[in-house]
Every structure is written in structure tokens, then in C-alpha cells.
Structure 1
Amino acid sequence: MKVRQFWLLLQGLLLGCVGSTAVAQHREGDRPNIIFIMSDDHAFQAISAYGGGLNQTPNIDRLAKEGAIFTRGFVTNSICAPSRAVMLTGKHSFVNGKVDNRMRFDWNQDNFPKQLQRNGYQTAMIGKIHLDGLPQGFDYSMVLPGQGFYYNPDFLINGERKRIEGYCTEIITDAALDWLQDQRDPTKPFCLFYHQKAPHRNWQPAPRYLTLYDDTTFAPPATYFDDYAGRGTAAKEQEMEVAGHARWGHDFKLLVDPDGKPTGFDKQLARMTEEQRKQWMNAYEPKNQAFLKAKLTGKDLAEWKYNRYIKDYLRTVRSVDDGVGELLDYLDKTGLSENTIVIYTSDQGFYLGEHGWFDKRFMYEESFRTPLLMRYPNEIKPGTRIDELVQNLDFAPTLLDYAGVRIPGDMQGESFRDLASGRSHRWRDAIYYTYYEYPAEHAVKRHYGIRTERYKLIHFYYDIDEWELYDLMKDPQEMHNVYNDPAYQSVKKKMHRKLTRIRKKYGDSDENDQRFLHAYLNQ
């Protein structure tokens, strides 16, 4: 870390005195560099630029201050691997074939990094992609196999497996900066995928943040003790409640549960070095012993579980924000900032105790909505706010648009370049969502739906056949299904018509649902 800081300082001094090759090579009118930052399960509520008040993310917030914040960014399928497949291809899950985490992704199909490669860009993927097989479209790849580990993770470096000692978030940041500094060709525009594992479950913080928030007690969200009375079967039968479904060891980091039984978390600690394990035990065991001694029950126990969860989650976010700061500082000090697009997003939203939940999957807002912040000084004015309905479906065409590459006709997303620059506010009035992974972990039922600026219509199917309609202006927390409310019958009819049209537009159908269900159940 100290070596890199010295190098950055030296380059900054050289820039001030004699100029820089990097600056000379990125004159006005040149194709922009692209840095696409994606974290895993980073809820917009845990980014201070969105005003949630949970934590502070000053480095991620810089992208909003110096560029644009999107207030209505969404995904098409709120689960990790399918979301990433949509991002790469610009096509819905039922078109690119990756509808759930179990089915394989076909890397042989076209994607936007391949398009950039063919048009002179140098490309790199560093971090988490969670798609089986060697990534295609990248001149260099250093990816976590599967979910990866927080401590001393393995990486596939251009396909070759190697274990690296350290904390995953910091390793990925160091590798991204090393590629920018030492491995890329400075004569070519570049596209770097800088993708973090954090803050994915099971939220293991870096050594330096193991005790962060120990002196803070977080109040649960207003809906934490939701009884689901205003919703249908799907909300009632899920299995992702912080107080009821999270695990003593894996999630709450206890070595023994309140009954004195081993939780198996010692197996995760075994991956750590002796020094890492010592730091962990010194930080967690006093807290764990105090909890076990207290013998909490009922509401007190539920609130303790929430606090253990949210503190660990926010601790992992802190390291992600640190990494974004290091990268932005590098761009500033090397003169690359002006001609580099930087996007920060997540593969989906996440529940931070809302409705009592962790995880994602549902089309309800906290899961469906994702953070999206973007800086590009050449076109985007500082402090820009964008309220239109954009989706991860739009990343591929947008970045090809910026790069001056023709957008393939079979991409289903749209470029939001003109929205970001303020040149136009013409945009879609509705977005489409699908979710397929059931029966499976967390028991979130299969569903699809449509969202407009004000309303949301959802159809849950397979083992049930239920519809839900929400008025997001009057009921932003989605507590009351008004599908059968007489006052909303005209809205319901209008939303059904819109749903029919949008399914036809994207090429989805009940036959698709049955085809993927059959494939899923026969794996």
C-alpha cells in the first residue's frame, strides 16, 4: 500500500512539472476510457448519497457530486448471476438464457466487452463475475471462482487458479490499480470491470473494521416486524427473515449457539492465517460471550440479530468505499479523470431489515432497485439527478454508445447517454421484471411484473396464481396490495394492458415460463 501511495505521489508531481503521456493520449474527442464498478448486493439504502442515513460512503458519493445519481435504477432479475448476464449482453434473462444461478451461462454469445475489443479497446475483468467458465471479451481476467472467499481468496487469473493472502476487497482493489498502472497498453482506450464480492453474504469485515460500529445501536426499519397481512402468499412463505432464517454461525458469527451446540463457523475461521484469526477472535468473542450470557428472547433477540447483521454488512461496505476512493484518486493524479467514465452500481438491491428480510429476489422495491452513480466530466454536469426508469439492461448499449460502437440490433436495452448529459428526457414509461429460481433457497416464488413511475403489477405463479398491485406514491413501502380494491380497477386494467404489451415487446410469454421451469426442475 505504501509503495503505491509513493508511486501516485511521484506521478502527481511529474504531471505538475512535465505533463503526462496519459494526458497527451486522451485529448478532447478521443474515445473515453470506462471503469465499471459493480459490488454484490449493495443496497442503495447503504450509500449516503441516497440519504438513507445508515452509514457514510464519501468516496462513492463523489460520483454523485461530480457526476450523476440515478434515483430509479432497477434490475430485470434480482439475483446475482442472471443480473450479470443481463449487464453483459443487454438482453433479458429469457433471451440470454441465464435465468437463475443454477443454469450455465453461454460465454460464446456476444457481449459488449467483445464489441469493445473488436473496436480497439483493451479490456480487463477483475473481481467477481459469478458466471461459470473463462470470461470472454477480456484481454485479462482475474476472477473469483463462484462466490469466492473474503479471507485469502482463490482467483482464476486468465484461467489459472491462485490463492492470494489478504482480504478480498483490498486484493481486488490492488489488482485493479496494478492493471491500470502496469499492465494496460497506454496507447489504447480501456474498459476495466472492477467488481467486488462485498457486501455479499456472509459479510465478513476486513481486519481494520472488525469493531467498527461497536459503539452504535441501529434501530430496525419501520417494517422490520412486518406480519405480511397486506400481501399474498409469496411474502408470507419466503425464508429470508433476519430473525427467523439467518444462521447462528454462518450469518451471526457465533462458534456455539445459545444452546451450546457448535455452529460450524470454526471451519470458516480455519481459512484465515493465525494472525487474521487472532484479530477476529479478539474482536468477536467478547461480543459473542456477552450475547450468550444475556439470554435474549422475543423482540430483544430479534433486534440483536438485526444489529449483528447490519453492522457486519456496513463494515464490508466500508472497505468497498475505501477502494473506490483509491481508484478515483488514481484517476485524478494521473490525469485520466476527464476522459474516463466511472460507473458504480450493484448487481441488484438488498433488504437491510425491511419487512424483516435480508437477501433479494422479490420485485419489491428494496430488492428490485439498485444504486447507480456515474461520472464523466466531458459530458455529465456535477450534481446531475436522473429520475427516469433505467435498468441494468441499458448498460451495454449505453457504454457502446459512449465508445462510438454500433449498438447491435438484438440488444433490448437503450442508451441513457442523452439522459445523463441532459440533452434529452424522452424515455420509457415502464420496465419489466422476471424471477425464476424456485423451489430454491429463500423460497421466493416465481414471478414477473411491470413497474411504471407510480404503479407496480406482479404475477406470482407456478405453485400459486396470485396478483399484486401497489400504488408506490401512496404506499412506497408496499404494505397494501390493492389488486382487488374497487378504487383501483381502472388502474389494474391499464397495468394489465401495459404488461401484455411489454411482454410482447421483449418476446416473453407463458411458454417461456414453462420452458425454463421444466429445465430448472430437470437439472
Structure 2
Amino acid sequence: MQKTTYFYIVISFLIITLASCKQETKTTSKAKKPNIIYIMADDHTSQAFGIYGSRLASLNPTPTLDKLANQGMIFDNCFVNNAICVPSRAAIITGQRAQTSGVIDLEGILPPEKQYLPKEMKKLGYQTAIVGKWHLHEEPAAFDYYKVLPSQGKYFDPDFRIRGDQPWPQNVVKTNGHSSDVITDITLDWLKNKRDPNTPFFLMHHFKAPHDDFENAPRYDEYLKDTFIPEPASLYDNGNNGSIATRGKNDSLTRIIASSVSHRNVVRNQAMNIYPGTDVYKKYKTAQEIPVSEHQKFENTAEEKEYTSSVYQDYLKKYLRCVKGVDDNVKRLLDYLESEGLLENTIIVYTGDQGFMLGEHDYIDKRWMYEESLRMPFFIRYPKSIKEGSRTNAIINNTDFAPTLIEMAGGDRPGYMQGKSFKTILETGKEPEDWQKATYYRYWMHMAHRHANPAHFGIRTKAYKLIFYYGKYWVDTDNPKAEWNKESWGNDFTRHTPVAWEFYDLKKDPKEMNNVYKDPQYDSVIADLKEQLIRMRKELNETDVNYPHIQKVIDKHWDD
């Protein structure tokens, strides 16, 4: 009897021990899965970092972010698919190009069933959250937790939309403070009090700053106050940048195309945002109504240069004060992760939602395929698999982010995603021989709003850039009620702009000051790029088969 009892005791002990070991193994395995924090600032361009070596690097605008970047891998050739908020964010969430996701412009929406990145992360056992700017219009319901700004949101005392008893978007909470501080407060509260500490998390932390028009927290009012901000030479002399599509015949469109720092653009320039009472747009409804005197008022004089410099200094200081607030709040987040022992097992990504023009070519805002607008800052830290101090010039774009993060979380790239995972590049520091050699860009919103950029698409390799502007025929006059004739595209000043090509040799001309499309020495290079462009548009589902009036323009002018 005693032997039987002893036997059952031993067996019971072994069963309990094995179950315990199995549970311990399961818990340990789960704990080893990396957390992921994806940090994105709105319009934070690569010029406004130390790590990218721009003219502003000497100001040391991002000490925290530079340190973070140098602890992981920095990407020198990360590009956006469309340099405008909503399409870029849709590309990041879906891993898809614009016509596949259905988000081609600021009116695009991303319903919950297409919010693929959080859906895939949840399949992998992650709890998901998004805090800050969302801007994809429909509820971010695929996330377990969200607290997001309505549309663009406010810099001060922002409201947030949350999940609640009422249908989206009626559940709103009010906050006090500057948005960069408040967004970080919300993220820290979620990390401390709302997440399950036994489950890996995927968190998207999205700042509003430094989106135009810039409003910094008052504590930064003195930052850079007495500092002269280095100015780009192209602010005053744009050389041979552009084409008849962006400048008009004999520069006839320069007063209405693309927001400027200087007085050049009489429709919208930065002075209008700083100095009230200088808005010519309010006086006239169309470009034709603007008298010659308005166009000739601001000549290239010493007085105008002095004025432009003054506006530029104000513009950059406002921008960099917002950047400073972002950098300081990232430090708050990193300090918390370190204090809680979470830092080493957390993949940290930092990027902007596109680039931004900071006076280059006398442009403000984004939208362009020019470098400062096209290029995204991007770096990623994860000591367990990414070598500290590594850097790559491999070409990636924002549709590649989702597949990469999914693979880093232990999953496989979904077949419906068009982006490619660059996990191998992160882990080895080497670019595979079969890695993409070019990226495709498309800006759809022809002459939209008062920024007034002509529609265009193009290809960018490591050495060259080819751009096609098709704007003249954007409005389909044969089918005026067609859905693509959007009222929000095209302003009262002009719906038609000339068709033209631009080509830049980026090795010889990294500042894009000389459009050499007509230079015969590049004929074979341009012909090859056009062939690549045709292939990419087909492969990416980015042709104009659904826009036959645009395809007519392409066919007519392809060999110009």
C-alpha cells in the first residue's frame, strides 16, 4: 500500500514538474518576442537631423534621435511613394501602392478591413496600439487601443478620438498642453497602465509636429533665437532646376506654382503665414486676374533678398523649435523603456511621413519628387540583431516598412503586400544582389489647394532621377462629370500646366540644380529609365488604365 502511494506521489510530482517546465518554456518564448515601437513625426525631413549631414546638422537639432540612430542602422535612401500625409500613411499601414490600397490623395480612407499591419501583428500574438496622428479618416478599429487626433489635430490643447460607447468619431476627450507632450503622456500611460505586461506590444507613436503651420511649446521660444540658420543657395538662385511644367514658358508660372519662402509666389508664400495682410490670393479669384504689377512687384533686388532671408529665418526657427520638442519627448519615451528594462528587447523605428522643403529651390511644403520632399529619414535600433553604427544606401520605400516589421515579429510577408522586407539588410548590413535598384513615385493632386504643385510621376535610382509632369490635361474635358475630376484638386488659379520631362544626374548634381533631360549624352540612360518606368508601373498596378485621358497624354508625350 505504501509503495503504491509512493508511486502515485512520484508520478504526480513528475507531471506537475513537466507541466511547469512546459509553461515556463512557453512564457520564456513569449517574453523573447521583441516589442516594437514605430515613431513617426509629421513632416520631419532628413535635412533637420545631425545624422544626415545637411546644412542644418551643425545646429545639432536632434541629439536624442542622432544617438538612437547611431545605435542601430541608418538608411540613406529611404523614399516615400507620394509626399503627402494620407497616401504615405496608407502605404505604411497596408504595404501597398496607392491604386491597390485605394488611397491616392488626401481624401483617401482606410477602412478597418484594410488596416493590415495591426491585423497581421495581432495574428502574431501582439497587442496593438496607436497614439497621435492617424489622418486616415475611418476608425483605426484594427488596433486594440487607439487615442488619435481628429484629422490634422491641434498643436495646443488637442482633442482625441477614442473607442467608447458612441459610434466613431463621437467619443472625444479633451486634453491640455502641447501636442508633442500630450501624445507622449498618452503613450507612457498606455505602457505603464493599459498594456498586458506578459504580451509583446506593437505601438505606433505619431507626433503631429513639426507639421506646418508650426507652433512650438512656449519653453522653446528662446531656442535658436540669436542663431543664424544656414540658408540654401537655391533659395535665391534656382539655376536650371525645373522645366516648363514647373516654371512655365519664360517663367510665366513661377508666381503661382509651388508655395515659396520669398514673395515669388503671390498665391501662397511663407510671409503670409507670418505677416498678416500680405495675402494677394484674397484679392483675386484666378491667375488671369492678377495684374502684371503684382508679378513685377518683387524683383531680385537686395531689398527682396533681405526680406526673403528674414522670412526664412523665422520659418526655420519655428520649424526647428517643433523638432526640438519631438526630440525631447522621444528622450522621455526612451528613458522610460530603459528604466523598466524594456529597451533592449524593443525594436525602435523612427521616421517622418515624408520629406519637407525647407527653402530649397525657394519651396516650402512637400509634394515634389525633388530630394528634400521625396526622401524620408529612417533608422531602426534593435541591438539583438542590428549592428550598432551601421548604415546602408539600399533603396527602400514606405511600402517596405510593414513587411519588414512583420518578419521581425516572426511572421511572413503577406502575399497581398507589394512592399519587400529588408530584414536581411538589417541583420547582415549587406544589400542582396537581387534587391530593388529603383523606386517609383506618384503625386496625384494636380494644383491642389494653394500649394499648387503639378501632378507627376517618376523613377529614382541611386544615380539618376526621371520625372514626368502630365498636368496640362489632368481635367478630362471630354468627360467633365467623371469621378477623377475632383473639385479639391486644382484651384481657381489654374487647372492646366504644361507637359514636360525632367532628368537629374544625382552624382554630379545632388542639389538638382540642372535639368539635363535634353542633353544628348544621357539619351541611352533616359531611354533605359523610361523602360524601367513602364515595367514598374505595370508591376505595381500604377498604370493609368483607369484614367484614359491621362494615358493619352503619356502616349503623346512619352518620346518628347
Interval containing the TM-score (normalised by the shorter chain): 0.7 to 0.9
Larger Rg: 2
Give the counterpart of 1:377 among 349, 372, 383.
383
Does the C-alpha gap of structure 1 residues 65 and 200 become closer, same or farther in structure 2, counting only changes over 3 Å? same
Give the counterpart of 1:432 among 417, 428, 440.
440
Identity of aligned residues (%): 44
Q: CA offsets per residue over residues 139-181 of structure 1, 9 Å max, x none?
A: 1111110111111111112251122111110000111111111
Does the C-alpha gap of structure 1 residues 100 and 258 become closer, same or farther in structure 2, counting only changes over 3 Å? closer
- In the superposition, the TM-score normalised over structure 1's length comes to 0.83
Greater shift, 117-126 or 196-205, is seen at 117-126
Rounded Cα–Cα distance in structure 2 between residues aligned with 1:399 and 1:258: 47
Matches within 5 A, 1:164-203: 164-203=175-214
Structure 2 residue runs without a partner (length 5+): 1-25, 248-252, 283-301, 473-497, 552-560
Rounded Cα–Cα distance in structure 2 between residues aligned with 1:87 and 1:515: 29
The Cα of 1:512 is off from its aligned counterpart by 4.0
Corresponding residue of 1:391? 397
Letter in 1 for 2:425: L
Corresponding residue of 1:42? 44
The Cα of 1:257 is off from its aligned counterpart by 4.2
Corresponding residue of 1:63? 68
Does the C-alpha gap of structure 1 residues 87 and 515 become closer, same or farther in structure 2, counting only changes over 3 Å? farther
Letter in 1 for 2:411: V
Corresponding residue of 1:211? 222
Matches within 5 A, 1:216-235: 216-227=227-238, 229-235=240-246
Corresponding residue of 2:260? 241
Rounded Cα–Cα distance in structure 2 between residues aligned with 1:120 and 1:68: 26
Greater shift, 105-114 or 443-452, is seen at 105-114
Rounded Cα–Cα distance in structure 2 between residues aligned with 1:124 and 1:131: 15
Q: Secondary structure at the match of 2:147?
A: strand
Contact residue 248 and residue 257 of structure 1 kept, 8 A: no
The Cα of 1:63 is off from its aligned counterpart by 2.0
The Cα of 1:479 is off from its aligned counterpart by 1.4
The Cα of 1:28 is off from its aligned counterpart by 9.3
Rounded Cα–Cα distance in structure 2 between residues aligned with 1:328 and 1:27: 24
Alignment RMSD (CA, Å) = 2.1
Q: Secondary structure at the match of 1:355?
A: helix
Rounded Cα–Cα distance in structure 1 between residues aligned with 2:405 and 2:278: 51
Whether 2:509 is the aligned partner of 1:501: answer no
- In the superposition, the TM-score normalised over structure 2's length comes to 0.78
Structure 1 residue runs without a partner (length 5+): 1-23, 263-295, 518-523
Contact residue 63 and residue 69 of structure 1 kept, 8 A: no
Does the C-alpha gap of structure 1 residues 512 and 452 become closer, same or farther in structure 2, counting only changes over 3 Å? farther
Corresponding residue of 1:353? 359
Contact residue 470 and residue 550 of structure 2 kept, 8 A: no
Matches within 5 A, 1:110-189: 110-158=115-163, 159=168, 160-189=171-200
Corresponding residue of 2:6? none
Letter in 2 for 1:448: F
Rounded Cα–Cα distance in structure 2 between residues aligned with 1:110 and 1:154: 23
The Cα of 1:29 is off from its aligned counterpart by 7.9
Whether 2:452 is the aligned partner of 1:443: answer yes
Corresponding residue of 2:503? 469
Does the C-alpha gap of structure 1 residues 53 and 299 become closer, same or farther in structure 2, counting only changes over 3 Å? closer
Give the number of equivalent residue pairs: 456
Greater shift, 506-515 or 168-177, is seen at 506-515
